[in-house]
Amino acid sequence: MANRGEIAVRIIRSARERGIRAIAVYSEPDRLAPHVLAADEAYHIGPAPSSESYLRTEGLIEVAKATGADAIHPGYGFLSERSSFAKAVEDEGIIFIGPSSEVIEVMGDKIQARRYMQDAGIPVIPGITEPVSTPEAALEIAHEIGFPVLVKAAAGGGGKGMRVVEEPGELTAAFETAQREALSAFGDGTLYLEQALKQPRHIEVQILADTQGSVLHLGERECSIQRRHQKLVEEAPATALSTAERESIGSTAVQAATAIGYTGAGTVEFLYEDGNYYFLEMNTRIQVEHPVTELVTGVDLVDWQIRIASGEALDFTQEDVRISGHAIECRITAENPRMGLLPSTGTVTHLEVPTGPGVRWDGGIREGSHISQHYDPLIGKLIVHANTREAAIQRMARALDELVILGVENCASLQRRIMDEPDFKRGHLSIRYLQEHPELLNESPIDPEAIRSIAIAGALLEAKDEQRTRLARTTPRLSRWQSDGMSSEPPRR
**What backbone torsions phi and psi does residue 70 show, to the nearest 5 degrees?**
-85, -30
Residues 246 and 320 in one domain: yes
Residues 291 and 308 in one domain: yes
Boundary (domain end) residue, out of 195, 225, 243 = 195
Task: Output the pLDDT for position 158.
Answer: 65
421 occurs within a structural domain: yes
Residues 74 and 218 in one domain: no
Residues 149 and 289 in one domain: no
Task: Output the pLDDT for position 464.
Answer: 52
Residues 24 and 156 in one domain: no
Residues 300 and 352 in one domain: yes
The catalytic site residues sit at 285
374 occurs within a structural domain: yes
DSSP-derived pairing of the beta strands 326-333 and 230-236: antiparallel
Q: CA 210 to CA 32: how far, in whole Å?
A: 36
Boundary (domain end) residue, out of 105, 140, 155 = 105
DSSP 313: P
With a CB cutoff of 8 Å and minimum separation 6, the contacts of 492 are: 40, 41
Question: Pick from 265, 308, 262, 260: which is nearest to 71 by CA?
Answer: 308
477 occurs within a structural domain: no
Render each residue's pLDDT in the chain as its tens digit; 493 residues. Answer: 999 999 999 999 999 999 999 999 999 999 999 999 999 999 999 999 999 999 999 999 999 999 999 999 999 999 999 999 999 999 999 999 999 999 999 999 888 999 999 999 999 988 888 899 999 999 999 999 999 999 999 886 667 888 999 999 999 999 999 999 988 878 889 999 999 998 999 999 999 999 999 999 999 999 999 988 889 999 999 999 999 999 999 999 999 999 999 999 999 999 999 999 999 999 999 999 999 999 999 999 999 999 999 999 999 999 999 999 999 999 999 999 988 889 999 999 999 999 999 999 999 999 999 999 999 999 999 999 999 999 999 999 999 999 999 999 999 999 999 999 999 999 999 999 999 999 998 865 444 444 445 445 544 544 454 444 444 444 433 333 332 333 333 333 3
Task: Output the pLDDT for position 444.
Answer: 55
Residues 206 and 349 in one domain: yes
- The pTM score is 0.86
Residues 159 and 45 in one domain: no
112 occurs within a structural domain: no
For residue 220, what are the CA distances in angstroms to 309, 327, 489?
23, 11, 47
Residues comprising the chain, all counted: 493
With a CB cutoff of 8 Å and minimum separation 6, the contacts of 185 are: 153, 156, 158, 160, 161
> What's 227-255 look like in SS3?
ECCEEEEEEECCCCCCHHHHHHHHHHHHH
| CATH of residue 138 | 3.30.1490.20
Residues 231 and 353 in one domain: yes
468 occurs within a structural domain: no
Containing structural domain, residue 182: 126-195
Burial class (CB in 10 A: 0-12, 13-18, 19+), 343: middle
114 occurs within a structural domain: no
| CATH of residue 216 | 3.30.470.20
Q: How many domains does the chain have?
A: 3
189, 175 contact by CB (below 8 A):
no
450 occurs within a structural domain: no
DSSP string covering 274-309, please? TTEEEEEEEE-S--TTHHHHHHHH---HHHHHHHHH
Task: Output the pLDDT for position 191.
Answer: 94
Task: Output the pLDDT for position 309.
Answer: 98
Residues 206 and 189 in one domain: no
Boundary (domain end) residue, out of 195, 220, 238 = 195
Residues 213 and 329 in one domain: yes
At 383, the amino acid letter reads I
| CATH of residue 22 | 3.40.50.20
Residues 290 and 150 in one domain: no
Task: Output the pLDDT for position 30.
Answer: 96
DSSP-derived pairing of the beta strands 201-209 and 215-227: antiparallel
